[in-house]
A and B are shown apart, each in its own frame.
Chain A
Amino acid sequence: GQNIDQPTEMTATEGAIVQINCTYQTSGFNGLFWYQQHAGEAPTFLSYNVLDGLEEKGRFSSFLSRSKGYSYLLLKELQMKDSASYLCAVRDGDYKLSFGAGTTVTVRA
């Protein structure tokens, strides 16, 4: 089976940095995705990593270490609108994604 772990909740202050960790043990690996999901809305794509290293996209960065089965999503210069759930997902073949339970980030003023 697939096992993808991420913290349940995190709280941070507006303007700060938060790092959401994701560890995975899967039968295969063909890429790791991060999604953002606001309450009551659909998940939306944030980032994709398939090779080791850091991918930066504006205020958001994602890191992958395949040998350690580890990724993190870094959110910089936090804004109130960043309050959401962040989902880590691993693709283990051509199509299927296995998701972690999600991390709810609360940004406080």
Chain B
Amino acid sequence: DVKVTQSSRYLVKRTGEKVFLECVQDMDHENMFWYRQDPGLGLRLIYFSYDVKMKEKGDIPEGYSVSREKKERFSLILESASTNQTSMYLCASSPPAGGAETQYFGPGTRLLVL
């Protein structure tokens, strides 16, 4: 079974703090993704990575950065947290391109920025 784990289930931070969200997958997947999920908006892609040290912007990258130094780990960084970044953050991984291979999701981190 594919396992995607995220460092925290719940996190409370203050405006202006630097926040790190960690994601680890154990299936040697090339692709990793960070989404945020908000009511009425669904999942929106922040960044994704298709290889170590490679990253591409998703649909809403502003205010975020990412790091992928090892294949199994993909970190999302909020350089200076703001209240509008309060959300559920979901990490996912998948094998290389195409076919019926789905993305596998972690349990999510619910971030509250005060």
* A-to-B contact residues, CB < 8 Å: 4, 8, 30-31, 33, 40-45, 48, 50, 87, 89, 94-102
Contacts and interface: CB of A to CB of B under 8 A. Distances in A.
B39 to A, nearest CB: 8
Given A99-B42, A99-B43, A41 B58 contact: no
Contact of B97 (A44, A45, A95, A100): A95
A98 to B, nearest CB: 8
Closest 5 A/B residue pairs (Cβ): A94-B97, A42-B105, A101-B42, A45-B102, A99-B43
A87 B94 contact: no
Given A95-B48, A96-B58, A101-B40, A42 B102 contact: no
A70 B46 CA distance: 26
Contacts, number: 53
A99 B105 CA distance: 14
Given A41-B107, A42-B108, A30 B48 contact: no
Interface string B87-114: 0001000100111101111111000000
Interface of B: 4, 31, 33, 35, 40-45, 48, 50, 58-59, 90, 94, 97-100, 102-108
Contacts of B104: 45
Nearest to A43: B105
Contacts of B48: 95-96
A95 B100 contact: no
Nearest to A91: B98
Nearest to B105: A42
12 contacts: A31-B99, A42-B105, A43-B90, A45-B102, A45-B104, A87-B42, A94-B98, A95-B48, A95-B97, A98-B45, A99-B35, A99-B44
